Amino acid sequence: MFGLSLDEVSEILGISNYEQAVKDLAPCGNDYSRCANYEKSQIVLLSKELNKNLKNFENMDEKIKDFMPIFNYYEEFLAILRHSSNGNCPGCRFSDKPTCQCSINMCHKKEKVRY
Task: For 47-103, write each residue's pLDDT tens digit.
Answer: 999 999 998 888 887 889 899 999 999 999 999 999 999 988 888 777 766 556 566
**Structure confidence at residue 3 (pLDDT):** 59
**Structure confidence at residue 1 (pLDDT):** 42
What mean pLDDT is reported for the chain? Answer: 79
CA distance 83 to 48: 10
Closest to 80 measured CA to CA, from 113, 51, 41: 51
- pTM > 0.75: yes or no: no
**Structure confidence at residue 85 (pLDDT):** 94
Contact between 52 and 101 under an 8 Å Cβ cutoff? The reply is: no
**Structure confidence at residue 73 (pLDDT):** 93
Query: Span 6-30, mean pLDDT?
Result: 69
What pLDDT band is residue 32 in, cutting at 50, 70 and 90? confident
